[in-house]
Amino acid sequence: MAEPQAQPKDSIHFSIVVANWNGEAFLARCLSSALLSARKVGRPFEVIVVDDGSRDASVEIVLRQFPQVTLRAHVENRGFATVVNEGVAAARGRYVILLNNDIVVREGFCAALLSHFEKDDGRLFGVTSKTVEWDGRQPNYVKMDAVWQRGDMRLVWADVAKATATFFLQAGACAFVRARFLELGGLEMFFAPGYWEDFDLSWRALARGWRNLYEPASPAFHLGKASFRRRYGSEVLQQLDARNHLLFLWANLGDVGLIADHCWWLPARIAREVFAGNVGTLRALMRALQRIGEVLRRRRRRALLRVVRDREILASVETKGSRFSEP
């Protein structure tokens, strides 16, 4: 893979893209901290807010308080993946930092993430940050990986202290090479309204032969109070998470043995959940099947970009000290 072309010294070095929907309670703090952190890098940058049809004062806040920020406002809500893809496409920086609107970063946040790209050997795709809850400072996102077990890719986590290889990037607080994001095609729409699209992008990057890193040195603070959960409700979100987990597997698994293992265990897993009274898993399966045509079309394109097999990816990151993130 060819190295990104050198840019003139006065060109944009990195872009910060903030996806926003009804974020008036957090947006000003997010942008203020992002601008301060970006200036500490000492390189040319830009900040782009893509507003996804907010019905609150978000747009007015950007226009009134942050004239240096580029605003792209939708009239109607189009979804997280669309917003992020639009922001990255519009960005002029070689590197892009993604932030959720309810994230506040430390001064060293941007420099900590971007420093790894200075040492890029041509294989680094992205770097993800640790996030902690503003109230109580409990971890919100740490090093997230996966292990293969009984026909499924189960998520595991580890709260490590040093930068290390990881499977997954968190879309709300990460950086990546813009050209490589575009080569992969960005975030997928079939995960809408959300969940797993950032993990899907991360896995595609690994399959492409690139690397992802977890950098805990400059954690970001999560201000939100589960607005996604308030909008859809816990039951719907559980089904959405289960549906998108299946879509992730169906879109990405290329190893015949792993596919066979998944197909062998899936009926038993669904039956066990139904007998236990959890019919949500069955509903998730039916809703995933409704999008199978789109997933199969994506698989063909992904196969053309894949250079690393699933089993190699699963063996590429240390997970011995990790804990399961679900029962």
Q: Which domains, and CATH codes, for the chain?
A: 14-231 (3.90.550.10), 233-306 (no CATH)
The DSSP code for 285 is H
Give the DSSP H/E element, type plus range, for residue 33.
helix 27-41
CB 71 within 8 A of CB 54: no
| Integer Cα distance of 104 and 277 in angstroms | 40
**Residue 6 in this model has a pLDDT that exceeds 80:** no
Q: What percent of the chain has pLDDT over 70?
A: 93
Beta bridge partners of 303: none
| Non-local CB neighbours of 52 within 8 Å, separated by 6+ positions | 19, 20, 21, 74, 77, 78, 79, 80, 82, 83
Q: What is the pLDDT of residues 167-189, one digit of tens each?
A: 999 999 999 999 999 999 999 99
Q: Is the pLDDT of residue 230 over 70?
A: no
pTM value surpassing 0.75? yes
* CA-based max dimension of the chain: 63
Task: Report, as an integer, the average pLDDT of 292-320.
Answer: 94
Cα-to-chain-centroid distance, residue 123: 18
CA distances (Å), origin 116, targets 1, 72, 175, 214 = 18, 29, 10, 10
Task: Tokens 């979804």: give the residue.
Answer: 79
d(C-alpha 28, C-alpha 39), whole Å: 17
Q: Give the model confidence (pLDDT) of 50-97 as tens digits.
A: 999 999 999 999 999 999 999 999 999 898 999 999 999 999 999 999
Which bin fits 151, alpha (ψ -120 to 50), beta or left (φ > 0)? Answer: left
Coil, helix or strand for 216?
strand
pLDDT in tens, 240-274: 999 999 999 999 999 999 999 999 999 998 998 88
Gap between the Cα atoms of 170 and 100, Å rounded: 10
